[in-house]
Amino acid sequence: MLAQIGKRFLTVIPSLIGVIIVTFLLTRVLPGDTASYFAGPAATPQAIAEIRTKLGLDKPLPVQFADYVAALVKGDLGQSLTTGQAVTKDIAARLPASAELTLAGLFLAMSIALPLGVMAAVRQGSWIDHLCRIIATAGVSLPVFFTGLLLVYVFYFILGWTPAPLGRLDVFYSEPARVTGFLLIDSLIAGEFETFRAAFAQLILPAVTLAIFSLAPITRMTRASMLAVLGADFVRTARASGLDSSTIIGTYAFRNAMLPVVTTLGMVFSFLLGANVLVEKVFAWPGIGSYAVEALIASDYAPIQGFVLTMAILYVLLNLMIDILYGVIDPRVRLEG
Amino acid sequence: MADVGKLEPAPLRFDAPPSTSFFAHARHVVSENPITGLASGLFLLIVVAALLGPSLVPFDPLMSDTAAALKPPTWKHWFGTDQLGRDIFSRVIVATRLDFAIAVLSVVLVFVFGGLAGVMAGFFGGWIDKLVGRIADTIMAFPLFVLAMGIVAALGNSVTNIVIATAIINFPLYVRVARAEANVRREAGFVQAARLSGNSDWRLLLTQIVPNIMPIMAVQVSLTMGYAILNAAGLSFIGLGVRPPTPEWGIMVAEGAAFIVSGEWWIAFFPGLALMLAVFCFNLLGDGVRDLVDPQRRN
């Protein structure tokens, strides 16, 4: 198993190299003078020249690439003009907010989509199957920022059930001592239940928005693969052997049906990480997505490139985790390896 | 729809020959799934708005009238007015052209380049296949919307670059479909026959392979149109590409977002609704086109 995981790690390397080359190229194709872009709109010619030598833009391209990789290894992604801090530091500070939101959205989506997809497959043609089909079609058509705004209007403005869509925590509460960076977990560790409740109230709408968005592909895939498995010979055999249907569905069919679902999770994560940016903008969520959006507006390029690279590396690692998870669920993959 | 899967003995009919015309088939597809008909109607509406929009609307989409700012929908202003008193109905209709154009252009771009790259990879194999595959894999290694953000930020903040970025992130999808379809036809009988008659590889590619995979590629186009429009609107929502005061759905929702918390819902709602309907229409139409062209993949 360990050798297997080691081998999977090796497959990550070409993707990482590709990602680093592309982000490097993205830093060099800036229209006009790269140095003046990095210096910002208000820089003096002197500052621009300084930045040019500092960035090594007067050297040949392969040397620049080597420098870029060397800086990356040291965790240096440049300086943000807007915050005045190292991009790596900014991103590290904001990443937990994005991670908490994304994971909460995914968790919510899975806990609705999996039972719904299974029920739709088991009771094919029933109302739940139709509901499943409507969700699958509507979910992919809804612009995620639009859903978010509708939810804010209904649950904040009309009903007043949720707090204003302004970040992770109401200003009246102080952040709990940072352990994981996840407010829900940190507040529990610190034993501040009131803070936990406040953070949860802030999280619920953005998480639901993300969940609605990612519900469609997971539901559709669960239904389709569950249908395929329920029609398989081994399920018929299990049924003929007199096992009750909850054992068949829960133990035999579900575990096998999960395999294609786990594979689609890769695609779901691609959408989710992108949608995250939009949701963060709608809810003023202080994650790395809104960090990148703020930098975009200020034409501050180092943070954007740092953001793209971070997201890509995260995505590559998530795909690796999904691959490993696949091996854990399906012993056949382990044996073939 | 639910009865499609059941195996019932089909009544014998001798009056209808198996090879009906394309239009008869299209009519059959629409009548079997009325939603496709509805989507076609919506599509016509979008096309009309895109072509004639600016001459149909009651108000100038850029004309501000601060006296009538932030008014909810009335008989005069069907969708209300925004913070500058501009008529939202006019702006939503006029915006159709820009949103539609971005989606169509980016899809055409990726259809030509992605399709060609995929066909060449599938037909020639070898290093071309490896190279194209590597490029597609590298693009897929990014979360796609994030890559689009990075591309627009790097190339420059303009509508053209939104089109290019949207085309690039769709590239792997087109490559995959075109490659698979070209690959299975590479050694097909009709290709072999054409090769034996002395046609060059490129001639085979363009006269035998490409025309044969066109229907499948058409399905791909209609399935990605919705995603393209959604992606472009998302980019302009975060402030990329389109600049105010240009009417565009994504940026109009972004402008209205600030007013949602104070209850002026109509500013963001109507452009968002237009966007949603357009995407919904393209997705349904995509399924319809697939049923029409490629009945085996029906679900």
Asked if the structure places residue A122 within a domain, the reply is yes
Q: Do A179 and A56 sit in the same domain of this protein? A: no
Q: Which residues of chain A have pLDDT under 70?
A: 1, 29-41, 55, 333-337
Is the pLDDT assigned to residue B15 strictly greater than 60? no
Number of domains in chain A: 2
Q: Do A70 and A99 sit in the same domain of this protein? A: no
In chain B, pLDDT over 90 holds for what percent of residues? 18
Q: Do A71 and A189 sit in the same domain of this protein? A: no
Return the structure tokens found at B291: 């049923």
Asked if the structure places residue A265 within a domain, the reply is yes
For A126-181, what is each residue's pLDDT tens digit? 788 888 878 777 777 788 888 888 888 888 888 878 887 877 877 777 777 777 87
Is the pLDDT assigned to residue B191 strictly greater than 90? no
Cross-chain CB nearest to A273 (options B138, B146, B226)? B146
Q: Residue B86: its pLDDT value, please?
A: 80
Touching B: A residues 244-273, CB under 8 Å: 269-273
Asked if the structure places residue A272 within a domain, the reply is yes
Distance from CA of B192 to the nearest CA of A (A): 37
Q: Residue B19: its pLDDT value, please?
A: 52
Question: Residues A91, A77: contact at Cβ < 8 Å?
Answer: yes
Is the pLDDT assigned to residue B7 strictly greater than 60? no
CATH, residue A196: 1.10.3720.10
**Using CA atoms, how far apart are residues B252 and A277, in angstroms rounded to an integer?**
18
Q: Do A240 and A98 sit in the same domain of this protein? A: yes
Q: Do A154 and A69 sit in the same domain of this protein? A: no
Asked if the structure places residue A217 within a domain, the reply is yes
Q: Do A171 and A292 sit in the same domain of this protein? A: yes
Q: Residue A328: its pLDDT value, please?
A: 78
Asked if the structure places residue B24 within a domain, the reply is no
Give me the half-sphere count of Cα atoms (radius 13 Å) on the Cβ side of residue B18.
Answer: 1
Q: Do A136 and A47 sit in the same domain of this protein? A: no
Number of domains in chain B: 1
Asked if the structure places residue A10 within a domain, the reply is no
Asked if the structure places residue B128 within a domain, the reply is yes
CATH, residue B248: 1.10.3720.10
Q: Residue B162: its pLDDT value, please?
A: 92
Asked if the structure places residue B68 within a domain, the reply is no
Return the structure tokens found at B6: 């059941």
Of A48, A76, A104, the position where a domain reaches its end is: A76
**Using CA atoms, how far apart are residues A136 and B16, in angstroms rounded to an integer?**
36
Q: Do A68 and A99 sit in the same domain of this protein? A: no
User: ipTM surpassing 0.90, yes or no?
Assistant: no
Contacts of A57 (CB under 8 A, 6+ apart): A34, A35, A64
Asked if the structure places residue B103 within a domain, the reply is yes
Q: Residue B4: its pLDDT value, please?
A: 45
Asked if the structure places residue B40 within a domain, the reply is yes
Say yes or no for a CB contact (<8 Å) between B239 and A296.
yes
Say yes or no for a CB contact (<8 Å) between A145 and B145.
no
Q: Residue B20: its pLDDT value, please?
A: 56
Place of tokens 């670059």: B161
**Using CA atoms, how far apart are residues B135 and B139, in angstroms rounded to an integer?**
6
Asked if the structure places residue A135 within a domain, the reply is yes
Asked if the structure places residue B9 within a domain, the reply is no
> Is it true that the peptide bond before A62 is cis, omega within 30 degrees of 0?
no
Average pLDDT over residues B185-196: 86
Asked if the structure places residue B8 within a domain, the reply is no
Please provide the distance, in angstroms rounded to a whole number, between the alpha carbons at the two ends of chain B.
Answer: 10
Average pLDDT over residues B16-23: 58
Range of the domain at A307: 87-336
**Helix intervals (H) in chain A:** 2-28, 34-39, 45-55, 61-73, 87-122, 127-141, 144-151, 183-189, 193-230, 233-240, 245-247, 254-282, 288-297, 301-329, 331-336
Q: Residue B5: its pLDDT value, please?
A: 45
B239 and chain A in contact, CB less than 8 A: yes
AA identity, residue A170: D
Asked if the structure places residue A82 within a domain, the reply is no
Which among A33, A129, A145, A320 is the top mutation candidate for probing chain B, defined by the most B β-carbons within 10 Å of its own β-carbon? A145
Q: Do A204 and A62 sit in the same domain of this protein? A: no
Say yes or no for a CB contact (<8 Å) between A19 and B156.
no
A213 and chain B in contact, CB less than 8 A: no
Cross-chain CB nearest to B2 (options A125, A146, A315)? A125
Q: Higher confidence at residue B3 or residue B257?
A: B257
| Dihedral, CA of residue B46, residue B47, residue B50 and residue B54, to nearest 10 | -90
Asked if the structure places residue A8 within a domain, the reply is no
Q: Residue B299: its pLDDT value, please?
A: 45
CA distances from B91 to B44, B60, B61, B88, B253 (A): 19, 8, 5, 5, 12
Q: Residue A69: its pLDDT value, please?
A: 86
Is the pLDDT assigned to residue B58 strictly greater than 90? no
For B89-107, what is each residue's pLDDT tens digit? 888 888 888 889 999 999 9
For B157-186, what is each residue's pLDDT tens digit? 889 999 999 999 999 999 999 998 888 888
**Helix intervals (H) in A123-250:** 127-141, 144-151, 183-189, 193-230, 233-240, 245-247
Range of the domain at B47: 32-58+77-297
pTM, whole model, 2 decimals? 0.85
Residue of A nearest to B252 (CA): A146
For B276-293, what is each residue's pLDDT tens digit? 889 888 888 877 777 777
